Amino acid sequence: MYQVINPATGELVAEYPLATDAQIGEVVSRSHQAYLSWRDTPIEERARLVKRVAQLFAERTDELAAIITREMGKRIEESKGELQTVFEIFTYYAENGPALIADEALAIQGGNALIQKRPIGSLIGIMPWNYPYYQVARFAAPNLMLGNTIILKHARNCPESAAAIESIMVEAGLPADAYINVYASAAQIATMLTDDRIQGISLTGSERAGSAVAMEAGRNLKKVVLELGGSDPMVLLDSSDLDKSVEIAVEARMGNNGQACNAPKRMIVMEDLYEVFVAKLTERFAAFEAGDPADPATTLAPLSSQAAADELVGQIADAVAKGATLHTGGTHIEGPGAYVSPAVLTGVTKDMDAYYGELFGPAVVVYKASSEDEAIELANDTVYGLGSGVFSDDVARARRVGDRIEAGMVYINAAGGSQADLPFGGIKRSGVGRELGALGMDEFMNKRIVRL
């Protein structure tokens, strides 16, 4: 079953049945048939329809925001902010897509050639619950613009938003089956990947899910894009305004209640700032108050599920039992709902799950560094390599340190983020491939060479 369980109350709101195996087969056929015509649709027409998708997301912001606040507990203002980003992504590809996929001249010995940028076919997207619209947008927008067709399997706790996205595609005027929402199981996705008509798969999710999908994709020789976990460092080298630095840290870590793959989960602070930084950060984390995420006044929303809350509390308890210092929070909040009080941990060591594991919720680990070299060593001591942020009043110093960080994204005097025209992705166990920007159009593209 796909289920809507309101994480603020624990109430079961709705259930959606899984697709049958026969329906799964029909979905693949429908998507492939749609591709055969969609790929030949003039680029100007594809751009017009993708632009209309953007407009509909904007027009239906209030309705769509309420859905994901109910499904996964996001604060309503953040839900609306997510929809603004979705609008920007679809608009970016509608306006820039024709230029991004224009033929490219290639000078070669003895003649000339062209690189033609063409679609490859039907694609599967497996999307997570933490940003139910944004994650879909950054996969679907460039690929629809390119001429691929989409089969979308959303997270099991996001069936209502999944259906809403499909309805927008239909209302925008996309051809039937250019975008298909399917309530599929993992086994059914594996079966789809054996079909020669499926040309690739994109997953945003956990490291474990990414490994399983990559194995199936490799077995069936399918192109894959994976955006997986992250344990991003925020390196604070110096600061002439520590209150501002703390505020940046709080906003970056607590956005979406800490449930963001590229949020800074590890704060690495130079020793002359460390004690005051921890004290100020602890004070700010302790000030959050749980409430109804549909109420704009609420500062602390629930986690996406009770299971997610239990996992985070367990990771924090493990660290404390092994000697870490818990400065505030880290426990279940009494009452209904999957609420966890925001936690600040120090003294975390390599024998604790909180050192190498991803803390996916309102919790942060702070480390002390005595030199740039030690800060860089701490930043790179992770199995992940998604994003990072380096802060200093001396931009050249921040750049120097940033150049030595092993990550797919390095932000100087900024704590990560996402925007339509900036490629997004990581290295190591954070995944393979890029989304957004010009690079996001390249992943499922046939760069066909024509020799003149």
The DSSP 8-state label assigned to residue 70 in this structure reads H
User: Catalytic: 158?
Assistant: no
Q: Which residue of the set 88, 207, 261, 443 is catalytic?
A: 261
This prediction's pTM: 0.97
- Give the amino acid at 415: A
**pLDDT tens, position by position, 157-181:** 999 999 999 999 999 999 999 999 9
Q: How are beta strands 223-227 and 198-204 bridged, if at all?
A: parallel
Q: What is the mean pLDDT of the chain?
A: 97
Residue 343 has a pLDDT of 98
271 catalytic per annotation: no
Q: Where are the beta strands (DSSP E) in 273-328?
A: 325-328
Q: Are the beta carbons of 287 and 350 closer than 8 angstroms?
A: no
- pLDDT at 434 (0 to 100): 97
Beta strand extents in 71-178 (DSSP E only):
104-108, 111-119, 122-126, 149-153
| pLDDT range class, residue 281, cuts 50, 70, 90 | very high
Asked if pLDDT for residue 134 goes beyond 90, the answer is yes
Q: Residue 416: what pLDDT?
A: 83
Q: Which amino acid is at 141?
A: A
**What is the percentage of the chain residues whose pLDDT exceeds 90?**
98
Q: Residue 420 is inside which H or E element, if any? A: none
Please list, in sequence order, all residues whose beta carbon lies within 8 angstroms of the beta carbon of residue 388, skipping any fewer than 6 positions away: 232, 233, 234, 235, 264, 379, 402, 405, 407, 409, 410, 411, 416
What single letter denotes the amino acid at residue 167?
S
Tokens matching residue 254: 């607590």
Instruction: Encode 153-210 in three state secondary structure.
Output: ECCCCCHHHHHHHHHHHHHHCCCCCCEEECCCCHHHHHHHHCCCCEEEEEEECCHHHH
Tokens representing 212? 């399983």
422 strand-pairing partners: none
Say whether pLDDT at 417 is over 90: no
Bridge partner residues of 366 (DSSP): 267, 346
Identify whether the C-beta of residue 34 lies closer than 8 Å to the C-beta of residue 150: no
Residue 426 CB neighbour total at 10 angstroms: 27
- Catalytic, out of 227, 311, 435, 443: 227
d(CA 402, CA 400): 6
Contact present, 345 and 325 (Cβ < 8 Å) = yes
* Residue matched to tokens 């701490």: 378
Type of residue numbered 436: L
Determine how many CB atoms are found less than 10 A away from the CB of residue 432. Answer: 17
At residue 110, the 3 state secondary structure works out as: coil
* Percent with pLDDT over 70 in the chain: 100
Q: What is the DSSP-derived secondary structure letter of residue 25?
A: H
In whole angstroms, what is the distance from residue 239 CA to residue 246 CA?
Answer: 10
Domains of the chain in start order, with CATH, are 2-228+430-451 (3.40.605.10), 232-412 (3.40.309.10)
